Amino acid sequence: MSRASDRAYDEIKAQILSGTLAPGAQLKEEELAEACGVSRTPIRDAMHRLEAEMFIQRSDSQRSFVSNWSIDDIEELFTLRTMLEGHAAAQAAERVTPEMLEKLHHNVAAIDAAIDRPLPDVDAFLAMNAEFHALIIQAAASDRLAHMINRLVLQPIVHRTALRYDADQLRRSLAEHVEIVAALEAHDSDWARAVMTSHIRRAFHVYRSENPA
């Protein structure tokens, strides 16, 4: 991919995550090219990437829109994530290495530092939260599982959910991360699966409470 394509990808993705490009908004190549300061070819490349990552949906008439998921769609995605990430946590409990546990402890400490302040650093929380889940998947040591999960982690939904977390919800999320790491250290796959399952289900209910059908 060219630098122009990468720049366009980053810019469009950032606007989707921030809500500047709202769910259901039509995306026109010429307008995006002008806004991003690139030609239409990099815009096409960027939009293909974003479509593959489910940020963008294409209609039967080949027009592109910011993905606009129904609450039933979102619940199905969270349900599938629960199954797959719960399985990943269980496998990670059996396969985790001391080096990976050390990385997870550093990650948890970074999340603690990000939220343990009068005004929590939600951007840092989001980055470290994504890293935490990526580390769990890495510890599970299954390329096939990683590919399946990455197709289901709809980042705009994760982002919007976390933005609605209050301080207590951020602390609860951190506590669940701490417990998942403890389960991995104990090599207890059932415990790891159970905590990851409840962790993701709780996130869904936070999302649903802010986005009723």
For the stretch 74-100, pLDDT in tens is 888 889 889 999 999 999 999 999 999
Q: Which domains does the chain have, with CATH numbers?
A: 3-66 (1.10.10.10), 71-210 (1.20.120.530)
**Residues ≥6 apart with Cβ < 8 Å to 110:** 124, 128
Reported as a single tens digit per residue, the pLDDT across 44-66 is 999 999 988 778 989 888 899 99
CB 74 within 8 A of CB 153: no
Predicted confidence at residue 90, as pLDDT, reads 98
Predicted confidence at residue 43, as pLDDT, reads 94
pLDDT at 213 > cutoff 60: no
Q: Could you identify the residue written with the tokens 């530092």?
A: 113
Q: Could you identify the residue written with the tokens 């997870």?
A: 104
Name the region of 112 (left: φ>0; alpha: ψ -120 to 50; beta: rest): alpha
3-class SS of residue 57: strand
Q: What are the strands, taking DSSP E only, across the chain?
A: 26-27, 56-58, 64-66
Two structure tokens written together for 15: 């606007």
Mean pLDDT value across the chain? 89
pLDDT at 162 > cutoff 80: no
pLDDT at 155 > cutoff 90: no
Predicted confidence at residue 28, as pLDDT, reads 93
Best CA proximity match to 208, nearest among 103, 79, 111: 79
Predicted confidence at residue 115, as pLDDT, reads 95
Two structure tokens written together for 28: 């026109």
Two structure tokens written together for 22: 């709202």
pLDDT at 70 > cutoff 90: no
